[in-house]
């Protein structure tokens, strides 16, 4: 029997009307940052926004998800592909484990090719720290195009 992992997803508030289609597709297909669960059963137990800059809902949403059994919080790919990427990402990845004792994964679905191309033109992700941040969601061009 596969081990079950319960996850919550927090999205950037600028995408608050997102229905979650790309995240749910990636979860089902174990693509992008969800590829770490290839050997697991996964249950989504929460989906919320950060609450808008500077992320006021980060204080509360993980607690609600944790009540539903969440062990891992995924900060959606929108945090890294937005223009500009979330300036509070580092704080969120430090705060959630410190406050709630939960693991944080940056990313959900693979980066869509249109975002990859534009951020490459803009040199948004040129600093070495971005290599680690992008690694779970970078994928190859064919997969990125499937998420456009």
* Tokens describing residue 64: 């609600």
For 100-131, write each residue's pLDDT tens digit: 999 999 999 999 999 999 999 999 999 999 99
Identify the CA nearest to 77 among candidates 28, 111, 46, 104.
111
The range of the structural domain enclosing residue 108 comes to 4-146
- Extract the residue ranges of the chain whose pLDDT is less than 50: none
* Strand-by-strand arrangement of the 41-49 sheet: 41-49, 4-11, 72-75, 103-106
Q: What is the pLDDT of residue 64?
A: 97
Question: What pLDDT does residue 44 have?
Answer: 98
pLDDT of 2: 81
What does the chain look like in DSSP terms, one character per residue?
-PPEEEEEEEE-GGGTT---HHHHHHHHHT-GGGGGGTTSEEEEEEEEE--STTTGGGGTHHHHHHHTT--EEEEPTHHHHSSSPPTTHHHHHHHHHHHH--EEEE-SSPPPHHHHHHHHHHTTT-STHHHHHHTTT---HHHHHHT-
pLDDT value at residue 1: 58
Domain count, the chain: 1
- Asked whether the beta carbons of 20 and 89 are under 8 A apart, the reply is no
Question: Residue 41's domain is classified under what CATH number?
Answer: 3.40.50
Kindly state the tokens that stand for 134. 């992008």
């Amino acid at each position: 029997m596969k081990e079950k992992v319960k996850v919550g997803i927090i999205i950037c508030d600028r995408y608050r009307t997102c229905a979650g289609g790309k995240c749910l597709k990636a979860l089902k297909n174990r693509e992008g940052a969800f590829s770490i669960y290839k050997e697991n059963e996964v249950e989504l137990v929460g989906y919320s926004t950060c609450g808008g800059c500077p992320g006021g809902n980060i204080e509360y949403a993980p607690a609600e998800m944790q009540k539903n059994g969440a062990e891992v919080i995924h900060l959606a790919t929108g945090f890294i592909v937005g223009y500009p990427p979330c300036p509070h990402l580092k704080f969120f990845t430090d705060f959630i484990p410190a406050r709630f004792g939960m693991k944080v994964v940056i990313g959900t679905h693979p980066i869509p090719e249109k975002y990859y191309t534009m951020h490459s033109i803009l040199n948004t992700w040129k600093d070495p720290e971005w290599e680690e941040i992008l690694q779970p969601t970078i994928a190859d061009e064919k997969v990125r195009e499937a998420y456009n």
